[in-house]
C-alpha cells in the first residue's frame, strides 16, 4: 500500500505530518478530503484499520459539530459516520495510511508508529 494522507493544507498539524513524511523520503498520495471527501465506506475502513470509533475521528471544533448537535450521545456510530461523509469538515486530520497501519496523527509523532 502506498502512503496516503487525508490532508487539510490549512491545518498546521496536517502540514507538519506531510513535511515529516517527505523528510523520510515518502511521497504520499495527498487527498484534500474537504475537496474530495471520503464516502461512508472509506470512513468505516479507516476507523476499522485504526481501531477508532466514529467519535475518535470526529473533529469537535467548529460550527458544524455544534450546529448538528453531535455532542449528544444519542448519535449512533452509523449516524456519526454518515455525518462525516456529508460534512467532511467533521473529520479530524490528518489521517495517514501506510502498509504498516492507519493512524489519526494527532499528535504529529503518531505517524512514526506506521513508518
pLDDT tens readout for residues 10-66:
999 999 999 999 999 999 999 999 999 999 999 999 999 999 999 999 999 989 999
Q: Which residues contact 33 (CB under 8 A, 6 or more apart)?
A: 6, 7, 8, 88, 91, 93, 95
For the CA atoms of 93, 94, 95, 100, the dihedral, rounded to the nearest 10 degrees, stands at -150
State mean pLDDT over 86-109. 97
pLDDT attached to residue 11: 96
Residue 1 pLDDT > 90, yes or no?
Answer: no
pLDDT tens readout for residues 59-81:
999 899 999 999 999 999 999 99
Domains of the chain: 4-114 (3.40.30.10)
pLDDT attached to residue 78: 98
Nearest to 14 by CA among 91, 98, 115, 99: 91
Q: Which of 1, 5, 10, 11 is catalytic?
A: 11
Measured CA to CA in angstroms, residue 64 lies from 5, 30, 60, 67, 97 at distances of 23, 24, 9, 5, 26
- Annotation marks residue 11 as catalytic: yes
Amino acid at each position: 500500500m502506498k502512503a496516503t494522507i487525508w490532508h487539510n493544507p490549512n491545518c498546521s498539524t496536517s502540514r507538519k505530518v506531510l513535511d515529516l513524511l517527505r523528510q523520510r523520503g515518502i511521497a504520499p498520495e495527498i487527498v484534500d478530503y474537504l475537496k474530495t471527501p471520503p464516502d461512508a465506506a472509506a470512513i468505516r475502513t479507516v476507523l476499522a484499520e485504526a481501531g477508532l470509533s466514529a467519535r475518535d475521528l470526529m473533529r469537535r471544533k467548529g460550527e458544524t459539530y455544534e450546529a448538528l448537535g453531535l455532542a449528544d450521545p444519542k448519535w449512533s456510530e452509523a449516524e456519526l459516520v454518515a455525518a462525516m461523509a456529508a460534512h467532511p469538515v467533521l473529520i479530524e486530520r490528518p489521517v495517514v495510511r501506510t502498509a504498516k497501519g492507519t493512524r489519526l496523527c494527532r499528535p504529529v509523532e503518531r505517524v512514526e508508529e506506521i513508518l
